[in-house]
Amino acid sequence: MYLIHIGLIKMRQKSSVVILIMLFALESSAQKHDFIWMFGNSGGVEPNVGVTTLDFREGNPLILPDHKSKKSFYITSNMYSDDSGRLLYYSNGYSIYNRNDKVVKFGSNLTKINVFEGQATNQGALFIPDPAEPHRCYYICDSIASFFNSSFGRSLFNTAKVKYVHLDDRLAAEAGDGIGAGYLLQGQQNDSLEAGHLRACRHANGRDWWILKKKQYSNEWLFWLLDPSGIHYHHSDTAFGNYPVGSVCDSHFSLDGNHFLSMSCPHFDTVVTYYFADFDRCVGRFRNIRVFHSIDFKFSASGAAIFSPDSKYIYMSQDGISMEQTELGPNVFTDRVFLDSIRRNPADHLYYHTFWSGQSGPDGRLYLNTFTLNTSLLHRIRHPNKEGSACGLDIAGMDIQCQVDRCMPTFPNYRLGPVEDSDCDSLGIDPLPWCWWRHDQDSSDHLLFEFTDASAYEVNRWLWDFGDGHQSTEPNPVHQFDSNGVYRVCLIVNNRHGADTLCRTLHIGTLSTDEYAEHSQVNLQTFPQPAHSDLIVNVLDYIPQKMSCTLLDIQGQALLHQRLFGGSNVLNVRSVPAGMYLLKISEINRRDRFEKILIEH
């Protein structure tokens, strides 16, 4: 939510239209546009065929695979949700679909090159909200003109133009439809653009958006401005100097919008270059350029570069195998902390489980994909705002059930306000804080929790109430509950303009010790049916004390046993022969629950 100082706007007849536009734009301040992520494709390799949705609406993401889905994403992947986090649109860079899986008007044949039912450019598209109307947004994407270029090692794609489609979610029976389309135009229309790495950052006024893209084989970045009147070419910037000929691997704005990072890996077996700059959101210019050429590593397969959510650290993988952390400041890149590396066998393929493109999640974690085609695994950094090994790098630790296909959904930071008290802070937008948090249960003590704040808009004060008489003013406290129970946990966050509160009810363990509680009181999901490689067990609205699942054959013999926690749990059934089984779910002081499970390979 925003406070709007109407007194800053002259109350003339002409200005009433301006005020109306501002009210439309600022009404949608919750901005959970990035709360639904999707991976996979209908033509994947068994058993990872289908599409998996990650749903962040409850804090921690739920893993929701659909092995019968006909959706397809190959590298390019974009979703856009409404203010409550409900999906509105999704796209693979080739077609745009609404929530009813219908192609929207102007949303087909977005590019001439259709690779595996989608576009094959990393960071090749974005959904951006319309500053003039909260029910509208723009989808901006590459329009690939050719697949191969002059030599491998340069870009494999040639982006002739950047296309946009204007969308309104009130059309097509409120499922959403297109209302217009066109191309982003710049001064030299014959210039080709770098494939992928379309980036956007909110303007310092807190309403408009900067959109930028690099020219191909050039050091020049082009800037467009999205304001209530539409998208306009604005200027170019060559501040990075002699940008090497070749492909950009990864580019990111820091979540506070103050920095920009671009990783260039022009050829295989050549030096990787990192370009780091401060970013002036008021005028759309790079400042204070720093360039780092990799000495220890040469680019062999892929690489990664992404900011921590608090914009304090950069996570970088120069070779796609090792992950390091460097702190922003005078010694950025030169002072690096080694975190871990991917264990590989000599026979592993060049691309096997590498670090590649990343995205900051609304839960405060970082997620990175891999350059491998046939894998369902993602990397995570659980606590990326922490220094060194405390960041919790989790290599290939998240199995999403469906083939990733080098796919990573791409979003700008929708929850970024104005640069307050700057020359561009001229619209009277005073953003109230937006409260959001998640919890993590300790694996050995079910009453011990770590709470992580993921709030937005320059929060400077926190007050946690754990519902048991205890409180904390730390942003990310660790709390020990005394016993099982139902606790109303609330976080109040403040900034200079006001406060926001988010409460969730935590049901920890079983309350009854005299009688067995009915297991149906716990909301459980087991899928897919049939299971192929993994079985998902979602434990919803309940935090177990010592819940477990056991896979039984028809003779009652236990084949697999695993502890279950609140949220999504993955049970590996790859080694279990095909057939019908029973899944026994047990919890202290609760009756056992049995689910029939069909396994096919």
Same-domain status, 241 and 105:
yes
Report yes or no on 517 lying in a domain: no
Please tell me the distance from the alpha carbon of residue 370 to that of residue 376, in angstroms, as a whole number.
Answer: 9
Same-domain status, 289 and 315:
yes
CATH code of the domain in which 553 resides = 2.60.40.3080
pLDDT recorded at residue 9: 32
Report yes or no on 157 lying in a domain: yes
pLDDT recorded at residue 349: 52
Q: Establish how many alpha carbons lie within 13 A of residue 330's alpha carbon, considering only the half-sphere containing its beta carbon.
A: 0
Q: Containing H/E element for 223? A: strand 221-227
Nearest to 164 by CA among 213, 214, 204: 213
Beta carbons within 10 angstroms of residue 46's beta carbon: 13
**How many domains does the chain contain in total?**
3
pLDDT recorded at residue 300: 54
CATH code of the domain in which 383 resides = 2.130.10.10
Q: Could you list the residue range(s) of the whole structural domain that residue 571 is in?
A: 523-599
Please tell me the distance from the alpha carbon of residue 83 to that of residue 90, in angstroms, as a whole number.
Answer: 15
pLDDT recorded at residue 587: 93
pLDDT recorded at residue 130: 98
**130, 136 Cβ separation under 8 angstroms:** yes
Listed residues 447, 474, 508: the one ending a domain: 508
Same-domain status, 341 and 394:
yes
Listed residues 380, 399, 418: the one ending a domain: 399
Same-domain status, 100 and 36:
yes
Report yes or no on 23 lying in a domain: no
CATH code of the domain in which 441 resides = 2.60.40.10
Nearest to 246 by CA among 282, 211, 271, 210: 271
Is 344 in a helix, a strand, or coil? coil
Same-domain status, 456 and 343:
no
Report yes or no on 12 lying in a domain: no
Report yes or no on 387 lying in a domain: yes
Same-domain status, 538 and 477:
no
Same-domain status, 46 and 117:
yes
Same-domain status, 120 and 166:
yes
Tokens of 520: 């149906």
Report yes or no on 5 lying in a domain: no
Q: Containing H/E element for 498? A: strand 498-508
Listed residues 357, 380, 399: the one ending a domain: 399
Report yes or no on 55 lying in a domain: yes
Same-domain status, 500 and 562:
no
Bridge partners of 75, per DSSP, are: none
Tokens of 306: 């992404």
Same-domain status, 285 and 357:
yes
- Residue that the structure tokens 């920890």 belong to: 508
Report yes or no on 515 lying in a domain: no
Same-domain status, 197 and 243:
yes
DSSP state string for 395-430: EEEEE-SS--TT-------SS----TTSTT--S-EE
**370, 406 Cβ separation under 8 angstroms:** yes
pLDDT recorded at residue 125: 93
User: What's phi and psi for 67, nearest 5 deg?
Assistant: -75, -5
Same-domain status, 324 and 388:
yes
pLDDT lower than 50: segments of the chain: 3-28, 149-155, 514, 519
